[in-house]
Amino acid sequence: QKEVEQNSGPLSVPEGAIASLNCTYSDRGSQSFFWYRQYSGKSPELIMFIYSNGDKEDGRFTAQLNKASQYVSLLIRDSQPSDSATYLCAVPSGNTPLVFGKGTRLSVIA
Amino acid sequence: GAVVSQHPSRVICKSGTSVKIECRSLDFQATTMFWYRQFPKQSLMLMATSNEGSKATYEQGVEKDKFLINHASLTLSTLTVTSAHPEDSSFYICSATPDGEQFFGPGTRLTVL
């Protein structure tokens, strides 16, 4: 069973700051990695996915992948109060869809 | 992106009753759908994989006789929680992957009294 680990938080950052969310995974063979955002009482929505080592940028979001260290992170620049949510890291597992981490709760303080 | 709907969004029932949750893919056909459960402050846990025209595949620890899954068409999967108990109270979410990306339904909040 693949494992995905995240710090549960809460992570509090002031508005306008960079929020850094981290995730480690157990299966060295994992090839793709997903970041989902989940607001309280809502289902997850995909923010970004990354396959290659290095950085992938999309607007205020940057995903960073280091396969050697089995580490994937999500940076949120210019954090806004509306970014306050739980961020879930997910990794596909064989024929099953996704294995999710427990999520990191982010709080952006105005 | 693709749209997945769920009905109902919220249900409250008495202990011992059965509850049916529907999951529909609105603008694509899905031969496979997935059912997740999420308890408060916990992550999503895969319960089962629903396969159109065949039996569902259940994850370890999930009782197939308690959580009945029927995938009768390419756009509809149903999850029936039979003889529900308070410990079944949870957020149930379905998902489908029309092209590799996983799209989630809005979820169903089940409360068993």
3-state per-residue secondary structure call for B3-62:
CEEEECCEEEECCCCCEEEEEEECCCCCCEEEEEEECCCCCCEEEEEEECCCCCEECCCC
With beta carbons under 8 A apart, name residues in chain A contacting B37: none
Residues 24-63 of A with CB under 8 A from B: 34, 41-46, 49
With beta carbons under 8 A apart, name residues in chain A contacting B41: 8
Of B41, B59, B102, the CB nearest to A98: B102
- Give the pLDDT of residue A94: 65
CB spacing of A97 vs B109 below 8 angstroms? no
CB spacing of A97 vs B97 below 8 angstroms? yes
- Give the pLDDT of residue B101: 75
Measured between CB atoms, does B11 come within 8 Å of chain A? no
Average pLDDT of every residue of chain A = 92
Residue A10: cis peptide before it, omega within 30 degrees of 0: yes
What share of chain A in percent tops pLDDT 90? Answer: 74
Of B34, B41, B106, the CB nearest to A97: B34
pLDDT, one tens digit per residue, over B70-90 is 998 999 999 999 999 999 999
Q: By the 8 A CB rule, do B47 and B67 touch? A: yes
- Give the pLDDT of residue B40: 87
With beta carbons under 8 A apart, name residues in chain A contacting B34: 97
pLDDT, one tens digit per residue, over A63-104 is 999 999 999 999 999 999 999 999 999 998 766 678 899 999
Asked whether residue A9 carries a pLDDT value surpassing 70, the answer given is yes
CB spacing of B106 vs A46 below 8 angstroms? no
CB spacing of B102 vs A97 below 8 angstroms? yes
Please state the rounded mean pLDDT for residues B12-23. 97
**Alpha carbon of B10 to those of A36, A84, B33, B62, B90: distances in Å?**
23, 24, 20, 22, 10
- Give the pLDDT of residue A96: 65
Output b/e per residue, A20-54; b: 16+ Cβ within 10 A. ebbbbbebeebeebbbbbbeeeebbebbbbbeeee
Of B101, B102, B106, the CB nearest to A42: B106
Output b/e per residue, B60-81; b: 16+ Cβ within 10 A. eebeeeebbbebeeebbbbbeb
Better pLDDT: A22 or A94: A22
- Give the pLDDT of residue B16: 96
Asked whether residue B43 carries a pLDDT value surpassing 90, the answer given is no
Better pLDDT: A95 or B11: B11
Average pLDDT of every residue of chain B = 92
Please state the rounded mean pLDDT for residues A42-64. 94
User: Closest Cα partner for A19 from A102, A86, A68, A101?
Assistant: A86
Distance between B90 CA and the closest CA of chain A, angstroms: 11
- φ and ψ at residue A81, rounded to 5 degrees: -55, -30
Please state the rounded mean pLDDT for residues A45-65. 94
- Give the pLDDT of residue A1: 62
> Mean pLDDT: which of A27-31, B31-35, B55-59, B80-84 is highest?
B80-84
Coil, helix or strand at residue A41: coil
The helix or strand, by DSSP H or E, that contains position B73, with its residue range, turns out to be strand B67-73
CB spacing of A41 vs B106 below 8 angstroms? no
